[in-house]
Amino acid sequence: MIGMISVNYKNSPVEIREQIYIALDEIIVFHEYIKKTILLNGLFIISTCNRTEIYFDYNQNGLSQNRIFHKIISCLIKFKKVSEGISPYIEKKIDKKLFTHIFSLASGLESMIVGEYQIVEQIKSSYKICAKNNMLSSVLDRMIQKSLNASKLIRTKTNIGKGAVSVSYAAVEKINSIYKNKSTSIISVGAGNTGQLALESLIKKKYEDIQVLNRTITKSKKIAEKFSLICQPIERIYDLMKKCDIIIFSTSSSKKLITEKNVKEAIASRKKPLLIIDLSVPTNVPKNVGSINNVTLINIDGLKDEVNKNYIKRKNEIEKANTLIIKLVDEFIIWVNNKKIRSTINQFKINFDHLISKVKNNENQNILKKYKRNIINNIKNIELNHDHDTITIINNILLKK
């Protein structure tokens, strides 16, 4: 059984997603943790600002699907030390629906900003860790490789990625709809890919007064030099907050970078409004900051207007991509079922040969051998016809203990 649990932007707000975010350096730790409860054939994890998804390969061994999912979810809840109240936000998928999902995900169809390419790099980063640490089963490994192949094909055969935007771009579009004055004072906190994409978009929009902050001053200087901007140490954030118009947060910090109390103190003397955009998951800014007078807080979920515009632009390309994905998924399922049936045949041979060895009469042995060959040939014919339902029944009958 190949299964997946997902908490994503479609079924949960950022306040829920940030609770179960699994950083890259937590993937191996979680794998070791889950092995203490359930022995999996393979595990793959991807966690981004928009989703945390756990893919697993498991031989049911008498356990129901519901029981298997319960064990995986229970491990996640305990590992992240969150309430079981998170369960209603968890989406479950198996087999064909799961394969369709991962192929669509890699192709940018499941992203908040349809067609964005960042998800491919995120899948590759997670894959690298899982593969290096022998976490993947052969099916999960091939599934990820084929999903990346699907991504390449769809970006070649459709215009899904043509002029694709990012969450950073959407944030800058939001800023531009509110602040037309190009001398607007902007602070960008974070030196990662999201922060740099935001800076590129701000510069393209001709904003002139931009300062860069980061916990590592060397990174701030490097980015400031790259974009010809001013850099400041992160400790100056509250001083700068007294005068700036906009602050954009996009760091990988697991802790809040500002407090409600300090924000209130910083803006006590100012009369103009302050816009804070938090693109981070986990979020960098406490939710209560948004209730402070004269402060507007927008998190990643608050960019839905720009997201909807992007979706409408790409609607026709989405339909083309989905048609391609259906074919690719069907081809992958054939490979999965063929792999299953080969495994079944091999195990059947071992079991049947053991039975034959216990029969002393040569004539009876020959009858059983002929019977074995007929069964195997019939199974292979079913395999050639790709009769998946019958293959599943055969697997259940021949390998049932």
Q: Write down the pLDDT at residue 274.
A: 96
Highest mean pLDDT among 178-182, 310-314, 343-347: 178-182
- Cβ–Cβ under 8 Å, residues 129 and 136: no
Which whole number is the average pLDDT over 6-25? 95
pLDDT at 3 over 90: yes
Which whole number is the average pLDDT over 360-375? 75
- Cβ–Cβ under 8 Å, residues 47 and 25: no
Residue 67: what residue type?
Answer: R
Which residues fall within 8 angstroms of residue 296, CB to CB, at 6 or more apart? 273, 274, 275, 276, 290
Q: Write down the pLDDT at residue 331.
A: 94
Which whole number is the average pLDDT over 258-267? 93
Q: Write down the pLDDT at residue 162.
A: 78
pLDDT at 343 over 70: no
Give the E-state strand segments of 269-337 in sequence order. Answer: 274-278, 295-299
Q: What is the pLDDT of residues 60-72, one digit of tens each?
A: 667 788 999 999 9
pLDDT at 400 over 60: no
Q: Write down the pLDDT at residue 166.
A: 82
pLDDT at 303 over 80: yes
- Cβ–Cβ under 8 Å, residues 135 and 356: no
Q: What are the angstrom distances between the C-alpha of 266 and each of 90, 238, 241, 248, 348?
A: 39, 6, 6, 16, 73
Q: What is the pLDDT of residues 120-130, one digit of tens each?
A: 999 999 999 99
Which whole number is the average pLDDT over 80-91? 94
The total of other beta-carbon atoms located within 10 Å of residue 385's CB is 10
pLDDT band at 320 (very low <50, low <70, confident <90, very high): very high
Q: Write down the pLDDT at residue 129.
A: 98
Which residues fall within 8 angstroms of residue 4, CB to CB, at 6 or more apart? 53, 54, 55, 56, 92, 93, 94, 98, 101, 102
Which whole number is the average pLDDT over 12-38? 95
The total of other beta-carbon atoms located within 10 Å of residue 297's CB is 21
What b-and-e string marks burial along 86-95, b requiring 16 or more CB atoms within 10 Å of the CB?
beebbebbee
Q: Which residue has the higher pLDDT, 400 or 99?
A: 99
Q: What are the angstrom distances between the C-alpha of 396 and each of 53, 70, 83, 390, 400?
A: 29, 23, 37, 10, 6
Q: What is the pLDDT of residues 26-79, one digit of tens each?
A: 999 999 999 999 989 999 999 999 999 999 999 866 778 899 999 999 999 999
Rounded Cα distance, 276 and 298, in Å:
6
Rounded Cα distance, 211 and 296, in Å:
20
Which whole number is the average pLDDT over 220-242? 91
- Cβ–Cβ under 8 Å, residues 98 and 146: no
Residue 151: what residue type?
Answer: S
Rounded Cα distance, 288 and 311, in Å:
31
Catalytic position from the list 49, 130, 231, 244:
49
Question: Is 49 an active-site residue?
Answer: yes
User: Which tokens hold the place of 172?
Assistant: 């800058």
**Of 206-220, 252-266, 386-400, which range is least confident?**
386-400
Indicate the average pLDDT of the chain. 89
